[in-house]
Amino acid sequence: MKILYLTTALIMLASLPVHSGLYRWVDADGKVYYSDVVPPDVAQSGHTKLRQNGMVAETIESAEARKRKIKLDQIKLARDAVEKEEQRRKDLQEMRDTQLLAMFASTEELIKIYESKLEMTDGSVAILKTRHKKLSEKLSDIEARYERMVNPNTKNMLGIKIDTILDDLHVYQQAITENLIEKTKIKKRYRSDLERFEQLSAKKKKVK
């Protein structure tokens, strides 16, 4: 392998075949080397490929530099993802603010509408609970008759009624649960919208 110093680099370039390559690298002490072959240890530490005229054709980064670049790219991607998510949330908030101001003319109107929604939900739950209670009482009565019944045909009919009532009770209980979940969601939106609406109203007053 030919290793030449800077003073003989141009001579070597001139003597190389047209398609040959010349490589340049710097060691840990800052000494510059030129060669037509890249040593294995240099291949991992970074070097430069030169053209026939001595100009740089390609810079090959060291393995460590490539690792740093990959890490920096990953950091940038993560930062871009965070910024993108923040912008998405900002856009959603602006859209929600616009809708909020369009839906309610005042704090009083917002409170009135949400209280009405909660009232309706409570009313639905009360009706469902009443029906559930009456059906449960009916079930107890039929189950008692079923236990006393001797006639197999009548007992079979009572058994069918019991199964039907149990299915209906399940439906009522499910409806009660869904309404209670919806009530929780309404209360959460109520608090959030009221707080945000008051903030937006205060900002509008300051602007005026």
Is 23:35 a contact under the CB 8 Å cutoff?
yes
Give me 75's structure tokens.
């950091």
- Residue 4 is given by DSSP the state B
Q: Which of 139, 185, 194, 192 is nearest to 163 (CA)?
A: 139
pTM over 0.75: no
Q: Using one digit for the tens of pLDDT, what is the confidence trace for 152-200?
A: 999 999 999 999 999 999 999 999 999 999 999 999 999 999 999 999 9
Identify any residues that bridge with 25 across adjacent strands, giving them in sequence order: 33
Structural domain boundaries in the chain: 6-60, 62-103, 105-207
Please determine, for residue 7, whether its predicted confidence score (pLDDT) is greater than 50: no
